[in-house]
C-alpha cells in the first residue's frame, strides 16, 4: 500500500506560509514569547529550587510511566473508594461513549480547557448528541465562537488580538463590545456565570493524578475550573493515563514544576478533587452532594498511550507536563503558532500526533517541519529529546514502521 | 503491513544524489575540490582536512530549491531516485543552466572558505592531508531526513575513503559533519575509528598563535545549533575572538539558547526557513555589531539570505574572519 503525502505536504506548507505572513500571529506571538521568557526567568530567580525539583519530577514521571499499569489500577480503586466512579477507556471512541453515556441528552455542560478534550473532539461529540456545551476557559471560549482550533496549549487563542475578540463578541452577544480587554473579560464572566449554575454537568481534565488518594490536581488562574467543577451536580474528569503518579506528595511536586514552567509563576488556583461533595453534619450520616457535585466520575483515557509507554525511545514523550515552554522557544512555532501542529503542537506535538492523534502519515509533514535545532530540549523541564524522536520517526517513515531500527542494533 | 509513503520528491533527490554521487546536489568531485588546486595537499597524512563538499554546495541550494518549488507547483511528474542533473534535464530544465545561474562570485566565496580554512590551520602549524576529488559527503542529511538504511551502506564508503588517508584525526569544517561522525556513525556505521575534531576546536587549541585581526568594530556570534548544543562548543568561539583582539557582543539568545538560522527547513519549507533566518538576523543586528560571525555553512548561507539589503551588517564565517589576520 502506498499513501501519497505530496498533496498534504503542499496544503500544509501553504498554510504554514500563510500563517507566517499573518500579522495577528506575529504580533501576538512576539508579545507572548517576550512575556513568557520574562515571567519564567523571574520565577526561576524567586524560586531557585525549581531546576532541582524538575530533576526529581523527571524521575517521578519516568518511574510512573514504567509502572503505569499498576498505578492506573490503584488510582481507579482510590476513586471508587472515595465514592466516585472510575472508567478506563481504551481508545477515543470508548472514551466518548462513556462520557456521553454519563451525560445523556439535552444537558447543559460546562467544560474546562483540556488537550485531551481536543484529542477526543469531546465538545463536538457531545454537541452532536444534543447537548449544549460551553468552553469555560476564556481562550477556548473565544475559539468556540470563532470556530477555530487552539494555537497554543496554554494560551489557545494566542493568535487572536483584542480587536478581533471584540468583533467576535459583538457579533455573538448582539451588542457592541469594545476592544478593551477588561470589558471583554467581563462580558464572558456574566454570560458563563449563568451557565455554571444552570449546567447539569461540569467536565474537567487534570494536570496530575495521585494514585494513592485518587486526587485530581488541576492548575488554573481564571477560576473557571473552580466553578465548573463545583457548581453543577455532576463532575466528570477526563484524563490521560500518563498523568498518574504514585503519591499525593509527588503529585504536588509535579504540579509545582508544571506551573512554574507554564508561566504561572504562582497559579491563582490549584484544585484538588478526590470525590463527590459530601457532608456528615447531620447526625454524622454521610450524605453526598452538599454544595458541590453529588456525582463524581473519572474516565482514564489510553488511546495509544500504553503503546507509547512500551516504546523505549518514545515513553519519554509521556513525561510531557504540557507546560508549553518548548513552543515559545521553537523558531518554527514563533512564526507559525499552532499551524505547526494539529491537535498537539510543535515538535513534541508531532510525536504525540503519531501515537494518539492521527498516526505517522498525519504527523509526517510535522515531523519534517521540525528543524531538529534542539532548543526545546533546553527549555523542557523534562528534557524530552524531541529531535532524537523526530529523527527516529523520519526513519520509520522512510524505512517502514515495523522495522526496529534502533540506533544500536547493528553497529559494533 | 508496510505502508509506503510518498513524500515530496526533493527528499529522494537529495538521497539519490548522496548515494550515487557522494554529494547532496550531485556536484562533481572536480568542482568540489577545485579550491585546493593551489595548495597541493597530500592525500595521506595524520590530520585529514574534511570539507564534505558542504561549503561548496551552499550557493547551489537556493537555485535548486527555486527550481523544485517551481516544478512542484507546475505539477510535473518526474521520477524519483535520480541525480538532480537527470531530473532537471528530464523536466525540461537544463541542469547546467540552473547551476550556471549561480553567481560566480558566490561560488568563489564559498569555495574560498575551504581554502581559507586550510591556510589558517596550516599557518597554525597543522599538517593537513585532503581527499580531493575522492572526498565524500558525510551523509548527515541521510540521517537527518530518515534514510538510515542508506546511511548504513553509504557510511561504509565514507569510512573507506577516510581510511585511505591513513589519518588519525579528521577535522571537519561543518558542525553537521562533525556531529554525524561523532554521534551517529559509532551507532550506525561499522569501523569508524578516527578522532573527530571541528575547525573551531583545532584553532582554539592554538589560538595564542593567531595573528590579531584589524577590525574597528565588534562582532556578534551566531552559535550554530549543532556546534553549541550537540557538540557543546560555544566558549571556544569567544576565546578565539579574544585572542585576535576583537570584542564580541551577545545577542538576546546565544550559546545553548541560540536561535536556529532556519537552514534545516530550506529544502521543504523555503519560505518559513527564510522568515526564521530573517528574524534571527534581526536578533543579531540588534546588538549593533559590525559583523555577524558563525561557524557553519548552512548558518552562513541562511543568515546571508536573511540579512537585509543595506543594513550594513556583514555576515562572515569564522574562517573568513580569521583569515583576515593572515591575508595582509
Ligand atoms: S515537551 Fe517539555 S517543554 Fe514542551 S510542553 Fe512538554 S514538558 Fe513542557
Atom in ligand 1 nearest the alpha carbon of residue A327: 4
User: Taking CB atoms and an 8 Å limit, are A412 and B190 in contact across chains?
Assistant: yes
pLDDT-derived band at B80, boundaries 50, 70, 90 = very low
Identify the three-state secondary structure at position A288. Answer: strand
Q: How far is CA A124 from CA A116, A138, A172, in A?
A: 13, 18, 19
CB atoms < 10 A from the CB of B100, how many? 11
**Inter-CA distances, A93 with A71, A90, A98, A212, A239, Å:** 23, 8, 9, 28, 15
Residue A32 to chain B, least CA–CA distance (Å): 16
- The residue written with cell numbers 485531551 in the block is A116
Nearest-by-CA chain B residue for A410: B188
Cell 507536563 -> residue: A321
Task: Count other Cβ atoms within 10 Å, centred on residue A156.
Answer: 25
CA distance B161 to chain A (A): 19
| Amino acid B95: pLDDT | 59
Cell 597524512 sits on residue: B45
- Which residue carries 554521534 as its cell? B183
**Which atom of ligand 1 is found nearest the CA of A323?**
8
A17: distance to nearest CA of chain B, Å? 6
How many Å from the N-terminal Cα to the C-terminal Cα in chain A?
Answer: 34
Residue B209 has pLDDT above 90, yes or no: yes
A319 CA → ligand 1 middle, Å: 8
> Looking at CA atoms only, how far is residue B7 from chain A in angstroms?
5
Chain B residues touching residue A29 (CB < 8 angstroms):
none
Domain residue ranges of chain B, discontinuous segments joined by +: 27-67+103-202, 210-322
Please report residues of B whose CB lies closer than 8 A to that of A395.
146-148
Q: Are B244 and B213 in contact (CB under 8 A)?
A: yes
Determine the distance in angstroms separating the CA of A189 from the nearest CA of chain B, rounded to an integer.
Answer: 38
**Cβ atoms within 10 Å of A193's Cβ, excluding its own:** 12
pLDDT at B63: 74
pLDDT value at B81 more than 50: no
Instruction: Please check the confidence at residue A99 and state whether its pLDDT lies above 80.
Output: yes
Contact A3 B5 (CB under 8 A): yes
> Which of B157, B152, B117 lies closest to B137, judged by CA?
B157
Cell digits of residue A312: 523505549
> Distances in Å between the alpha carbon of B166 and those of B46, B196, B285?
7, 14, 44
Residue B87: the pLDDT is: 56
Q: Residue B145: which of A1, A394, A396 has the nearest Cβ?
A: A394
φ and ψ at residue A287, rounded to 5 degrees: -125, 135
With a cut of 50, say whether residue A351 has pLDDT above it: yes
Q: How far apart are CA A215 and CA A217, in angstroms?
A: 6
User: How far is A255 from chain B, CA to nearest CA, in Å?
Assistant: 25
Residues of chain B positioned with their CB less than 8 A from the CB of A394 = 144-146
How far is it, in rounded angstroms, from Cα A156 to Cα A172?
19
Q: How much distance in Å is there from the Cα of B90 to the middle of ligand 1?
A: 46
Segment of A152-156, A164-168, B43-47 carrying the highest mean pLDDT: B43-47
Nearest residue of B to residue A2, measured between CA atoms? B4
Query: What is residue B153's predicted lDDT score, i.e. its pLDDT?
Result: 96
Which residues in B58-89 are b (16+ Cβ under 10 Å) and which e?
A: bbbbbbbbebbbebbeeeeeeeeebbbbbbbe
Q: B142 near B264, Cβ under 8 Å? A: no
A41–chain B Cβ distance below 8 A for any pair: no
Q: Which of B149, B269, B272 sits opposite A399 (nearest CB)?
A: B149
Q: Is the pTM of this model over 0.90?
A: yes
pLDDT for residue B79: 32
Question: Could you tell me if A238 and A203 are in contact, meaning their C-beta atoms sit under 8 angstroms apart?
Answer: yes
| A341 φ/ψ sector (left φ>0, alpha ψ -120 to 50, else beta) | left
pLDDT of residue A408 exceeding 80 = no
CA distance A347 to A336: 13
Band the pLDDT of B105: cuts 50, 70, 90: confident
A324 lines ligand 1 (CB under 6 A): yes
Of A152-156, A240-244, A249-253, B235-239, where does mean pLDDT reach its minimum? A152-156
Evaluate whether B263 touches B302 at the Cβ level (below 8 Å): yes
A254 Cβ below 6 A of ligand 1: no
Whether residue B103 is predicted with pLDDT greater than 90 in this model: the reply is no
Q: Report, at the CATH architecture level, how domain B210-322 is classified.
A: 3-Layer(aba) Sandwich (3.40)
What's the mean pLDDT in B276-304? 95
Predicted confidence band of residue A410 (pLDDT cuts 50, 70, 90) = very low
For the segment A237-247, what is each residue's pLDDT rounded down to a tens digit?
Answer: 999 999 999 99
Phi, psi of B170 (to 5 degrees): -115, 130
Would you tell me how many other CB atoms lie within 10 Å of the CB of residue B90? 13
Q: How far apart are CA A156 and CA A139, in angstroms?
A: 5
Confidence bin at A27 (pLDDT 50/70/90): confident
pLDDT of residue B68: 66
Main-chain dihedrals φ then ψ at residue B311, nearest 5 degrees:
-75, -20
> Would you list the DSSP string of B226-291?
IIIIIS---HHHHHHHHHTT--EE--SS-GGGPPP-SGGGTTT-HHHHHHHHHHHHHHHHTTT-SE
Residues 6+ apart with CB under 8 A from B62: B301, B305
Cβ–ligand 1 distance for A382 under 6 Å, the answer yes
**Grid cell listed for B288:** 549593533
Which residue in the set A4, A335, A402 is minimally distant from B276, CB to CB? Answer: A335
Of A377, A366, A308, which Cα lies nearest the Cα of A338? Answer: A366
Q: Taking CB atoms and an 8 Å limit, are A1 and B4 in contact across chains?
A: yes
Q: Which residues of B touch A331 (CB under 8 A)?
A: 259-260, 262, 276, 279-280
What pLDDT does residue A25 have? 84
Q: How close is the Cα of A154 to the center of ligand 1, in Å?
A: 11
Q: How many whole angstroms separate alpha carbon B71 and alpha carbon B91? A: 8
A 338-367 near B (Cβ less than 8 A): 360-361, 364
**pLDDT band at residue A406 using 50, 70 and 90 as cut-offs:** very low
Give percent above pLDDT 70 in chain B.
Answer: 88
**Whether B272 and A2 lie within 8 Å, measured CB to CB:** no
> Which pLDDT value is given to residue B309?
66
Give the start-to-end residue ranges of the domains of chain A: 6-46+324-398, 50-305
Residue A381 Cβ inside 6 Å of ligand 1? The answer reads: yes
Mean pLDDT of A9-28: 89
Cβ neighbours of B265 in A, within 8 Å: 332, 369, 371
**Looking at the complex, does the CB of residue A331 fall below 8 Å from at least one CB of chain B?**
yes
**Is-contact A110 A228, C-beta < 8 A?**
yes
Return the residue of B nearest to A392 by Cα.
B146
Q: In the CATH hierarchy, which fold is given to the domain comprising A50-305?
A: Rossmann fold (3.40.50)
- Do the Cβ atoms of A374 and B230 come within 8 Å? yes
More confident residue, A219 or A149: A219
Residue A200, SS3? Answer: coil
C-alpha–C-alpha distance, residues B117 and B317, integer Å: 10
Q: Is A385 exposed, middle or buried (0-12, 13-18, 19+ CB in 10 A)?
A: middle
Is A402 within 8 Å of chain B by CB?
Answer: yes
Average pLDDT over residues B219-242: 97
Of A371, A402, A397, the residue nearest A386 (C-alpha): A371
Query: Which chain B residue has the Cα nearest residue A361?
Result: B5
Q: What does residue A253 show for φ and ψ, rounded to 5 degrees?
A: -65, -45
Query: Which of B189, B256, B271, B272 to mutate to test binding with chain A, by most A CBs within 10 Å of its CB?
Result: B272
Average pLDDT over residues A306-313: 95
Interface contact flag, B6 A13, Cβ < 8 Å? no
Q: How far is the CA of A327 from the centre of ligand 1 (A)?
A: 8
How many CA atoms, within 13 angstroms, populate the side-chain half-sphere of residue A6? 16
Whether the predicted pLDDT of A388 surpasses 50: yes
Q: Which atom of ligand 1 is nearest to the CA of A346?
A: 4
Sign, Cα dihedral of B222, B227, B232, B234:
negative
Query: Can you give the pLDDT at residue B77?
Result: 37
Chain B residues touching residue A3 (CB < 8 angstroms):
3-6
* pLDDT score of B37 more than 90: yes
Q: Would the CB atoms of B265 and A3 count as touching at under 8 Å?
A: no
Task: Determine whether the interchain pair B268/A369 forms a contact, defined as Cβ–Cβ distance below 8 Å.
Answer: yes
Nearest residue (by CA) to ligand 1, atom 8, is A323
Kindly state the percentage of chain A with pLDDT values over 90.
85
Nearest residue by C-alpha to atom 6 in ligand 1: A320
Q: For ligand 1, say whether the CB of A346 is within 6 Å of any of its atoms.
A: no
* B146 closest CB neighbour out of A16, A369, A398: A398
Q: Is A334 on the interface with B (CB under 8 A)?
A: yes
Kindly report the number of other CB atoms within 10 A of residue B308's CB atom: 11
- Quote the CA–CA distance of A189 and A172 in Å, as a whole number: 14
**Confidence (pLDDT) at B88:** 56
Amino acid at each position: 500500500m502506498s499513501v501519497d503525502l505530496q498533496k498534504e505536504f503542499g496544503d500544509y506548507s501553504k498554510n504554514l506560509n500563510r500563517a507566517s505572513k499573518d500579522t495577528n500571529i506575529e504580533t501576538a506571538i512576539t508579545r507572548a514569547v517576550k512575556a513568557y521568557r520574562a515571567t519564567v526567568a523571574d520565577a526561576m530567580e524567586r524560586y531557585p529550587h525549581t531546576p532541582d525539583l524538575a530533576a526529581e519530577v523527571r524521575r517521578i514521571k519516568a518511574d510512573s510511566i514504567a509502572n503505569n499499569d499498576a498505578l492506573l489500577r490503584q488510582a481507579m480503586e482510590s476513586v471508587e473508594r472515595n465514592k466516585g466512579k472510575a472508567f478506563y477507556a481504551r481508545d477515543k471512541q470508548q472514551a466518548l461513549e462513556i462520557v456521553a453515556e454519563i451525560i445523556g441528552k439535552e444537558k447543559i455542560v460546562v467544560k474546562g480547557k483540556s488537550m485531551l478534550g481536543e484529542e477526543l473532539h469531546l465538545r463536538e461529540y457531545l454537541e452532536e448528541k444534543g447537548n449544549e456545551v460551553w468552553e469555560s476557559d476564556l481562550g477556548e471560549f473565544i475559539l468556540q465562537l470563532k470556530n477555530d482550533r487552539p494555537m497554543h496549549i496554554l494560551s489557545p487563542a494566542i493568535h487572536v488580538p483584542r480587536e478581533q475578540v471584540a468583533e467576535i463578541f459583538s457579533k455573538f452577544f448582539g451588542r457592541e463590545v469594545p476592544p478593551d480587554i477588561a470589558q471583554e473579560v467581563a462580558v464572558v464572566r456574566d454570560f458563563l456565570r449563568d451557565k455554571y449554575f444552570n449546567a447539569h454537568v461540569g467536565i474537567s481534565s487534570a494536570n496530575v493524578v495521585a494514585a494513592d488518594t485518587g486526587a485530581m490536581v488541576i492548575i488554573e488562574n481564571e477560576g473557571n475550573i473552580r466553578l465548573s467543577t463545583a457548581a453543577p451536580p455532576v463532575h466528570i474528569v477526563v484524563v490521560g493515563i500518563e498523568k498518574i503518579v504514585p503519591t499525593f506528595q509527588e503529585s504536588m511536586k509535579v504540579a509545582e514544576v508544571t506551573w512554574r514552567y507554564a508561566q504561572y509563576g504562582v497559579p491563582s488556583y490549584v484544585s484538588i478533587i478526590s470525590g463527590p461533595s459530601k457532608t456528615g453534619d447531620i447526625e454524622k450520616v454521610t450524605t453526598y452532594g452538599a454544595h458541590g457535585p453529588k456525582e463524581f466520575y473519572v474516565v482514564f483515557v489510553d488511546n495509544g498511550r500504553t503503546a507509547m509507554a512500551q516504546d523505549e525511545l518514545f515513553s519519554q514523550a509521556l513525561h510531557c507536563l504540557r507546560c508549553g515552554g518548548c513552543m515559545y522557544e521553537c523558531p518554527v512555532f514563533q512564526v507559525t503558532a499552532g499551524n505547526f501542529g494539529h491537535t498537539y503542537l510543535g515538535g513534541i506535538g508531532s510525536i504525540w500526533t503519531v501515537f494518539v492523534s492521527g498516526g505517522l502519515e498525519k504527523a509526517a509533514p510535522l515531523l519534517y517541519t521540525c528543524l531538529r535545532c534542539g532548543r526545546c530540549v533546553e527549555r523542557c523541564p523534562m528534557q524530552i529529546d524531541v529531535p532524537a524522536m523526530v529523527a527516529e520517526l523520519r526513519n520509520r517513515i522512510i524505512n517502514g514502521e515495523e522495522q526496529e531500527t534502533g540506533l544500536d542494533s547493528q553497529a559494533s | 503491513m508496510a505502508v509506503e509513503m510518498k513524500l515530496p520528491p526533493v527528499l529522494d533527490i537529495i538521497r539519490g544524489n548522496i548515494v550515487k554521487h557522494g554529494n547532496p546536489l550531485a556536484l562533481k568531485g572536480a568542482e568540489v575540490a577545485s579550491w585546493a588546486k593551489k595548495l597541493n595537499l597530500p592525500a595521506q597524512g595524520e590530520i585529514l582536512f574534511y570539507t564534505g563538499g558542504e561549503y561548496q554546495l551552499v550557493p547551489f541550494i537556493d537555485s535548486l530549491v527555486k527550481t523544485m518549488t517551481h516544478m512542484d507547483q507546475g505539477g510535473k511528474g518526474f521520477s524519483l531516485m535520480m541525480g538532480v542533473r537527470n531530473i532537471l534535464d528530464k523536466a525540461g530544465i537544463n541542469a547546467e543552466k540552473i547551476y550556471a545561474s549561480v553567481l560566480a562570485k558566490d561560488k568563489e566565496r564559498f569555495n574560498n572558505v575551504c581554502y581559507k580554512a586550510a591556510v589558517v590551520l596550516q599557518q597554525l602549524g597543522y599538517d593537513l592531508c585532503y581527499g580531493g576529488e575522492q572526498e565524500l559527503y558525510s551523509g548527515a542529511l541521510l540521517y537527518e531526513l530518515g534514510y538510515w538504511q542508506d546511511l548504513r551502506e553509504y557510511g561504509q564508503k565514507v569510512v573507506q575513503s577516510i581510511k585511505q588517508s591513513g589519518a588519525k584525526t579528521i577535522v571537519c569544517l561543518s558542525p553537521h559533519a562533525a556531529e554525524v561522525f561523532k554521534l551517529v556513525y559509532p551507532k550506525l556505521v561499522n569501523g569508524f575509528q578516527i578522532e573527530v575534531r571541528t575547525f573551531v576546536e583545532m584553532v582554539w587549541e592554538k589560538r595564542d598563535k593567531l595573528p590579531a585581526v584589524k577590525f574597528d568594530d565588534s562582532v556578534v556570534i551566531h552559535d550554530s545549533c549543532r556546534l553549541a548544543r550537540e557538540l557543546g562548543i560555544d566558549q571556544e568561539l569567544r576565546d578565539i575572538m579574544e585572542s585576535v583582539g576583537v570584542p564580541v557582543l551577545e545577542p538576546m539568545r546565544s550559546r545553548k539558547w541560540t536561535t536556529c538560522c532556519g537552514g534545516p527547513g530550506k529544502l521543504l519549507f523555503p519560505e518559513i526557513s527564510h522568515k526564521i533566518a530573517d528574524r534571527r538576523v534581526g536578533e543579531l543586528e540588534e546588538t549593533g555589531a559590525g559583523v555577524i560571525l558563525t561557524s557553519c555553512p548552512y548558518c552562513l548561507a541562511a543568515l546571508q539570505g536573511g540579512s537585509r539589503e543595506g543594513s550594513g551588517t556583514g555576515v562572515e564565517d569564522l574562517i573568513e574572519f580569521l583569515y583576515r589576520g593572515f591575508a595582509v
